Amino acid sequence: MHTPSDVMSVIKRFPHARVMVVGDMMLDVYMYGTASRLSPEAPVPVLHVTREQAMPGGAGNVLINLRTLGVDVCAVGVVGTDQPADIFLKYCRDMGVETQGIIADPARPTIQKIRHMAGQHQLLRSDIEDRTPLSEHIEDALKAEITRAMDGRQIVIISDYAKGVLSARILAHVMAEAKARSIRVLVDPKGKDFTRYRGAHVVTPNRTELALAAGAETLSGDQDIEIAAQKILGSCGIDHILVTRSEDGVTLIQANSQKPIHLRAKAREVFDVSGAGDTVMSVLAASLAVGASLAQASDLANLAGGIAVGKIGTAPVRPDELMQALSGDTTISHMAPVLSLDEMKACIQSWQASGLKVGFTNGCFDILHYGHVTYLAQARAQCDKLIVGLNHDISVRLLKGTTRPVNDEQARARVISALASVDGVVLFGATTAGADNTPCALIDSLRPDLFFKGGDYTPDQLPEAKIVSQYGGQVCIMKMYEGYSTTATLQKINNPQAA
């Protein structure tokens, strides 16, 4: 159908994609703590909350997935005039999402899904939402933003969670405005009435959603999927259906009577299917936006979905992961990613949302030696994921002098990311003399559960400890290995007789 090089060229063009997302914007909130006793008031556990975390959910998760791919994305939706709205908007803006099209409605709360977590166990989920229809005033404002924001976009995504925003009037307006501009509309549907999405280019139901819309009890095999999809295409005015089947891959059914395309997921261990549908939609949209055919875009979206189910939680899929999966380069496929601050923050939050304990340590790691490797391995043994903050080259020169580093930041990052004990690398540091060259700001942004520091310190001697304690994290002082350092290694190289 197409070669890996063709698909790689599609991925490289993702930053040229311009996509609009219209839908139900939500805030996913996680309350972490311990539950060691029952309440005296009722036979329920008491959660002693030690940490709280929030990130965009619903249509917001599609926004984050698209930005992780490098796509230029704008959002249109509704939030409240409350603190959760401020948190949602700040997160999106920090990720580079255009949020002008998000309307603040004082009459309704920002949708929240609040999960109460004891370790990896969810005790309770509380939903805060108002599903009543939007007022005529807010709906008119939303329509105006849809019209404004659609100009210059190549693809529109409708992310429907049936929370009251995507009324028949709003959906009809999206379809009419998109048709007038020859823009294709992709829909992540909700409910059993797919006639609401008449005019859509592609609708992406999962197996359960397709069964509900087709009036079937279950859909077990390829033939069941094909029959149900053809029934929808014949009655709902939709061009194509891409059925997401989690670990079984995807199936593309096209209205032009072409033969159905069943794309199997590559064999990989399935950890979590949550969020995989948003990943499939995001890659499909990005691919179509930069000129890929529907078959090619579906194939790439299926590859991304396979990567997504191999992750813990709703972690977005990055372009480099897609490139590695396509290349089949086993020499680099095991390496931890080197991420930007925003990418690392999103990754850590996804891990923590799944109950994983994230550790953090930092250093120059100029010439890797026994002390480094042992220290990192022992730190990783105390957490589920270990992140390394790596001083960039200017930062190292400020710390060590003009002759350092020996190895540049990209070389150091690649070497440290190859260690089995490391799950991610992020660069940091000061750029001018006298500026803060500690990882304090980085730690405050990433908020790991554990901060590891090697040496003969007490927590009160560390500026990082205050930051960690403020958000409820833990400081761990680790043993240093005497005689092992980059400085000592360089001395041996320069003066071997004195060693």
CA torsion, points 422, 427, 430, 431, in degrees to nearest 10? 150
Output the six-digit token pair for 156: 């529109």
Nearest to 277 by CA among 74, 75, 10, 23: 23
Catalytic residue of the set 24, 72, 105, 278: 278
Output the six-digit token pair for 497: 């007789």
- Phi, psi torsion values for 58, nearest 5 degrees: 60, -130
For the chain, state the CA radius of gyration.
25
- Judge contact between 384 and 352, C-beta under 8 A: no
Answer yes or no: 278 catalytic: yes
SS3 letters across the chain:
CCCHHHHHHHHHCHHHCEEEEEECEEEEEEEEEEEEEECCCCCCEEEEEEEEEEEEEEHHHHHHHHHHCCCEEEEEEEECCCHHHHHHHHHHHHCCCEEEEEEECCCCCCEEEEEEEECCEEEEEEEECCCCCCCHHHHHHHHHHHHHHHCCCCEEEEECCCCCCCCHHHHHHHHHHHHHHCCEEEEECCCCCHHHHCCCCEECCEHHHHHHHHCCCCCCCHHHHHHHHHHHHHHHCCCEEEEECHHHCEEEEECCCCCCEEECCCCCCCCCCCCHHHHHHHHHHHHHHCCCCHHHHHHHHHHHHHHHHCCCCCCCCCHHHHHHHHHCCCCCCCCCCEECHHHHHHHHHHHHHCCCCEEEEEECCCCCCHHHHHHHHHHHCCCCEEEEEEECHHHHHHHHCCCCCCCCHHHHHHHHHCCCCCCEEEEECCCCCCCCCCCHHHHHHHCCCEEEEECCCCHHHCHHHHHHHHCCCEEEEECCCCCCCHHHHHHHHHCHHHC
Active site amino acids = 278
